[in-house]
Homo-oligomer: A and B are copies of this chain.
Amino acid sequence: MSDILSALNWRYACKVFDPAKKIPAETWAQLEASLVLTPSSFGLQPWKFIIIQDRELREKLVPHAWNQRQIADCSRLVVMTVPKVLSIEHVDANIARMIEVRGGSADGLLSFRKMVLGFRDGLEAKGGLEQWAKLQTYIALGQFMLAASLLGLDTCPMEGFVPARFDEILELEKEGRTAAVLCPVGYRSADDRYAGLPKVRFEAKDVIEHR
């Protein structure tokens, strides 16, 4: 556990990445595997993670993320995307995958399917589907940043970008998806003065209550 606390104390929102340092393929493969294992509501995994190494493409995105250079200077940019509509096809693909992995039949999952579709319809009626999906990507984000830090990789979670422009440049619209949150990954630059600053968190007594 001291590893976890050390990693969390070591990590920070990286302001300057070293563009020369690349994540080794094997390290990345493990981190990507951890991303795939992220838990989600009903196990529906309402996401696609776009991993961008193409430098030119990332430079195009920079102006639409408040000119934050981390977008282009990191080793890999993770764009977490969500569907604007959770299709019946998605739910059925999830059920098909359950059967593939665990056996059983679609008939045996009829009540699960009905419940999930009812849940989906309820969210859609309230206009909350995209927001629900976005919440799930933040589970991925939290898990991903801890996993990365345990591997000695720096990250910078980013909400500061224009989803509509990202969607256009990454051609997400035609797939009915939108960018939810960004996470550049790589290695901090020796020039990043933020790396050395003490971490600011409220004291435990101010954010934890025991009952």
- A residues neighboring B (CB under 8 Å): 1-5, 8-9, 11, 13, 27, 30-39, 41, 43, 45, 47-54, 57, 93-94, 97-98, 101-102, 131, 134-136, 138-147, 150-151, 157, 159, 170, 197-204, 206-211
For residue A116, give the distance in angstroms from its CB to the closest CB of chain B.
12
Q: Which of B5, B36, B131, B197 meets A201, CB within 8 Å?
A: B36
List, in ascending order, chain B residues with CB within 8 A of A204's CB.
32-33, 36
**Assembled-state Cα–Cα distance A131/B5 (Å):** 28
Q: Which of B49, B141, B145 meets A209, CB within 8 Å?
A: B49
Binding site secondary structure of chain A: helix
Question: How many monomers of this protein are in the complex?
Answer: 2
List, in ascending order, chain B residues with CB within 8 A of A146's CB.
142-143, 146-147
Q: Are A208 and B27 in contact (CB under 8 A)?
A: no
Q: Are A5 and B30 in contact (CB under 8 A)?
A: yes
Q: Are A50 and B138 in contact (CB under 8 A)?
A: no
Beyond A1-B150, A13-B39, A143-B145, list 7 extra A-B contacts (CB 8 Å).
A4-B150, A4-B151, A39-B145, A50-B209, A93-B202, A98-B200, A142-B146
Top-9 shortest CB links A-B: A142-B142, A138-B138, A139-B142, A142-B143, A8-B37, A1-B30, A143-B146, A52-B211, A50-B209
A-B contact pairs, 19 of them (CB 8 A): A32-B204, A36-B202, A36-B207, A36-B208, A37-B199, A39-B145, A39-B157, A43-B201, A48-B208, A49-B207, A52-B210, A57-B211, A97-B203, A101-B200, A102-B200, A136-B138, A138-B139, A142-B144, A143-B145
For residue A152, give the distance in angstroms from its CB to the closest CB of chain B.
10
Given A208-B35, A209-B51, A211-B54, decide whether A198 and B101 contact each other with a Cβ distance below 8 A. yes
For residue A51, give the distance in angstroms from its CB to the closest CB of chain B.
5
For residue A170, give the distance in angstroms from its CB to the closest CB of chain B.
8
List, in ascending order, chain B residues with CB within 8 A of A50's CB.
209, 211
